[in-house]
Structure 1
Amino acid sequence: MVRVSNGLVGILNFVTFLLSVPILGAGIWLARKASTDCERYLDKPVIVLGVFLMLVSLAGLVGACFRVSWLLWLYLLVMFLLIVILFCFTIFAFAVTNKGAGEALSGKGYKEYRLGDYSNWLQKRVNNSKNWNKIKSCLIDSKVCSSFSYKYLNDTVEKFYYENLSPIQSGCCKPSNDCNFTYVRPTEWSKPAGVTYMNQDCNAWDNNKSVLCYNCQACKAGLLQNIKRDWKKVAVVNIVFLVLLIIVYSVGCCAFRNNRRDNSYGYPGRWK
């Protein structure tokens, strides 16, 4: 008679196996259909995740239902390592996102962001030229500022200043408030000639649609604000996922103990 723990492990891994199929399919679809470097950047991690889930779930399914002890042992080892990795990542995510916040501006509906307000680890990642050039290419490909310009095209300067802009829109698609440029359109500002600015972002601004403020420190800060928000959400989800993994791992340990006990008694039809 198959014990409850073995049955639970089998059911859970069967569900995981079913989930791995669309994940793997999505990765293969991205690899074939991707038209930009940003989309191609996503296909390999998705494929790896799909294959990983498929193999681990198969190991757990076969090990629990057919009493293959070495497969169940391998499954438990991978689960243990996954728990450790997720725990470390969750702590790391909270640690690197505990700094940084937007600066509220008087008479403005949006905030502005300063790169120096964020953790040194995150700053180093975006200050690396190779990393930032890839990120900048993705931002341009995503047309974040083009859609921003279209959305607020008919705004007067007074109305524009009260818009609730996203961190990336605020940092990458318009000049810093310090520059005091004259508003023409959301992504077009009149820049006085011969003026020296303390804020280097003012010098970096250009009305060219492929330049704008993509080279500004504020743009990097806006991206980090997005990353901070998303990583905190991921960290919370990880905590829930960790609890579930620990429960599954505990049930798996019971199933492994059952397998060893049955094998030691030499039950017919069991793997030895």
Structure 2
Amino acid sequence: MRFFAFTRDGVAGLAVRTDTGLAGLMAEDASYTGSLDDLIRSGRLAAAGKVLAAGDAIDEASVTPALPFRRAGKVLCVGLNYADHAAETNHAPPPYPTVFVRFNDNLVAHEGALVKPAASEQFDYEGEMVAVIGKRGRSIPKAQALAHVAGYTLFNDGSIRDFQMATPQWTLGKNFDATGAMGPDFVTADMLPEGASGLAIRTRLNGEVVQESNTAQLIYDVATLVEKLSAVMTLEVGDLIVTGTPAGVGMARKPPLWMKAGDVVEVEVEGIGVLRNPVVAE
């Protein structure tokens, strides 16, 4: 199923995409299923999808997209996970996944404004795919790893490069307010190839393709990431694994290509959708 979270007149809603468009319910409806955060934690995605599909027709043009997930305990981002991106930033392919964290409260939804901070001109895009954990686990064998993934969504890991590169730790440059985006759809794993592999991924800035690759080119695929991360920590239901970005980032271009107020950036992954955001100045 393809779930779409939204608000209308300040009220939360949840819908699924059907052959005839969006169908769903509002939080004020008696049969409302709860948010995606609630559904994934309770294991009710499939049942809720059927309820939503029998709900009201939702006019997408009349609602405001919302973040699909707001309560992830962990947002684990993987750096340098496409060989071409590692090469363009003068890094060897990492011998172990390079992991850093982002936080829920600096993310915006589809069509929400990404904010170029006043403190920097070096606001860069990174189109990525997210694997959403649907089953708790620790020390998960690779052969069982994909059974722990409920589905996938999209991410723009907006990065403030001068702050990111100022120290060996990337946390500050990756966590300015309203610099990352996620959504719009959450697509369950059964709708995509195993491990969401073999999907075209691209980023467009003002309509021009600036990143283009395929998820088959991940150095550490989704199953391997689940295995490696769960060797260190318990992966909880609702945790997000942001799988990495391909070559073409603005930092590596000559001259560099930074996002600025007035730009529009789109991240697209085949079978998952398009995440679109305008850029504004702080």
Q: Shorter-chain TM-score: which interval?
A: under 0.3
Q: TM-score, normalised on structure 2?
A: 0.21
Larger Rg: 1
Please identify which structure carries the higher strand content.
2
